[in-house]
Structure 1
């Protein structure tokens, strides 16, 4: 199994805690990157923090930033992705600064399956419409 996928799967099911409490496992993704997770809280968008944490742990390049689109500058773009490649998606509109990032699992004609953090407030695998794809990247 790919080391990126293996590390990301080790976190499968970790989720935010609603309300004033925070999941220390989610805060760890921020803290180990040099951000103050206790100030940011687990309701802060954490997909990029999770992707950074995974890549840092396995010793590959990472953006070090909390915005998903920062991953468009990491590694190299690829047309045919492999498991563990980075998937960068747009949110709201293709021109928005907002996005989502995770790790490629597989794809169908219309969907790309992403293993990522902050997907329905947890680490899981979720299908996203391919029309939201900005780029696949290999680190």
Structure 2
């Protein structure tokens, strides 16, 4: 066996195929990654899995502790920023200055009653030193950065959850066959992790990554 370092866009099935393995073989040497129904945990860049390359398959990296240039090590830095914001909530009365700060990152001057899920995503990404999208409209994040396979910490765009809304956007925390769990702002008026039906994913390439 050899170690393989996950890179953005990798999926369990794709890795097995890359190394000429059946999916059952891949699951057997990575216990706990997928259940009996092939419902797999989210992969994240920098994570190390085991592979058993077939003859003629590409060699795994020699040093799995040193990801190649362009890899994002472990938890994406913008996800670390977002995780630290859990519990930030709207004030009543008044406006939470932290949410006002999120809104300012997309050029919106308003109180914490203003829709702020997209502003939270933009603030977190910029806080980590990456280029944001600078829009307060969730639906416009469908064109952000580059499209990727579902990856821990990627931006996820949902369809509008209510009339007159532009959608919802957050960071992927987990996923199963039925739901996606997003770390997002303006979820029940706060920053929290909550589940949404996969049927609510926006049409098109709704999983995005900073370019």
Q: TM-score range by the shorter chain?
A: 0.7 to 0.9
Give the secondary-structure state (helix, strand or coil) at the position aligned to 2:136.
Answer: coil
TM-score by length of 2: 0.59
SS in 1 for 2:126: helix
Q: For the residues of structure 2 that align with 1:81 and 1:59, how far apart are their CA atoms?
A: 22
- The higher radius of gyration belongs to 2
- Higher strand fraction: Structure 1 or Structure 2? 1
Q: Quote the residue 1:12 is aligned against.
A: 86
Q: 1:62–1:71: 8 Å Cα contact kept in structure 2?
A: no
Q: What does residue 133 of structure 1 align with?
A: 201
Aligned residues: 132
**Contact residue 105 and residue 122 of structure 2 kept, 8 A:** no
For 2:82, what is the secondary structure of its paired residue?
Answer: helix
What are the equivalent positions in structure 2 for 1:40-55 lying under 5 Å apart? 40-55=110-125
Q: By percentage of residues, which structure has more helix?
A: 1
Q: Which runs of 5+ in 2 are unaligned?
A: 1-74
Distance 1:89 1:42 in 2: 21
Q: Helix, strand or coil for the counterpart of 2:170?
A: strand
Deviation at 1:34, TM superposition (A): 3.3
- C-alpha contact (below 8 Å) 1:114/1:126 kept by paired residues: yes
Contact 2:153 2:171 in 1 (8 A): yes
- Show the counterpart of 1:119: 187
Runs of 4+ more than 6 Å apart: none
Counterpart CA distance in 2 for 1:71 and 1:100 is 9
Q: What do you get for the CA RMSD once the two structures are aligned? A: 1.6
Q: Is 1:91 paired with 2:91?
A: no
1:57 corresponds in structure 2 to 127
- Structure 1: gaps (5+ residues): none
Aligned match of 2:178: 110
Task: Give the drift of 1:81.
Answer: 1.4
Larger RCO, structures 1/2 (Cα 8 Å, 6+ apart): 1
Structure 1 residue 97: deviation in Å?
A: 6.2
Tell me if structure 2 keeps the 8 A contact 1:61–1:74.
Answer: no
